[in-house]
Structure 1
Amino acid sequence: MSQTVVLASHNAHKLEELRRILAPLVPDIELIGYDGPEPVETGTSFEENALLKARAAAEHTGLPAIADDSGIAVDVLGGCPGIFSARWGGPERSDTGNVDLLLWQLSDIADEHRAAGFVCAAALVIPEADDVPGVEICELGVWKGSVLREPVGDGGFGYDPVFQPEGSCRSAAEMTAAEKDQHSHRTRAFTALAEELRTRL
């Protein structure tokens, strides 16, 4: 019998991606979407924000909840955009605006100093039930690479067109979904979290 787990996100693309990632790792869970209120992300780290979202979904539904918080961290910018990746380019929160601002900020930076990493914190929150203590766990995944000088590729989303993973001659936006699922920061974080899902649910 499968265990229902809610993904604390309104993003249908993320739900599809995580179903692909987790299906072979934790086949006994049914991952469903979330239509409840999303908390204000007041954390100062990926881990804090992922846990905030998972807690909110677990409290609203009474179900075990998973969530992630992710973004791109550029070494020469001291780890920015970091947790502000989704709104780096302003209140419109557009992928194009975010990418354009990042490229402008790095326009004078030599290729050898454009190192960056996609970072993902994956959180699991299991609510307290029948005097059994609740559980809160968070795992971190990093996909290292560098920032290109212009967008390349039509796939993916966010900063994918300007991120070139280590060891690859293509941007993340030029990779297939299956290729990304093998290497991405989200895969790394949720692969680590999968062991907790298998043993605690």
Structure 2
Amino acid sequence: MVYDLPFLAESDRQNAGHPEMGGVCSILLPLICYCINTEIRIPFYVLNAFMAYSFFKFGFYMKGRLTSGAILSVYKRCAYMLLSFLLLVALVAYNTCGSLNAIEYGKNALVCYLQGCIGCLFVVSLCMSIFQLLGHKASFTLGNGTIVLLLLQPPFLLTLKLIYRALFHPAHSAPYFDIFSAMISAVVIITIMYPIILIINKKDPVLNGIK
């Protein structure tokens, strides 16, 4: 099982040395980012990193809790996934979407961080459900295909945006997405890309950094 791999256990031990420091940073760094005038652009995306730190820390925490729960059935994991998805949709409808790139929080910064935490729960639950349903081979194939996904997803994403806008939001002058279409497009793109990743892994694995 993926959560029993030695390197994951070692990573957990290395990051568990000073949990109180991580907790302090999870509050302090985003607070610094929120208080600083975001019109002042600090080099190397330092403020963006400060804003994102809490999401990273919570994601790591949830990974340790959810991936170690081997006794959870796939039905319970899917229930977690569905519940977190519905909560995320409701919060986005209220607060709109924040942006790490632009350092925007929507209507409320606290709700924005709640959205991020629930999003982490959704992603981890989704990945573990895929792992339990399809096995480690499919999970590792998608993991190894990250480079291909990053390279080829823009044209697929733009095409889906244009189709969605033409069908549902023709009044918008630019490609338009809402949270439903964004998540559906993610599933569609991954489904399309999976056989492409398999072919690349077989024919020229160096493109995925395997060899």
**TM above 0.5:** no
Q: TM-score range by the shorter chain?
A: under 0.3
More helix by share: 2
With structure 1 as the length reference, what TM-score do the two structures score? 0.25
User: Computing the radius of gyration over CA atoms, which structure comes out larger, 1 or 2?
Assistant: 2
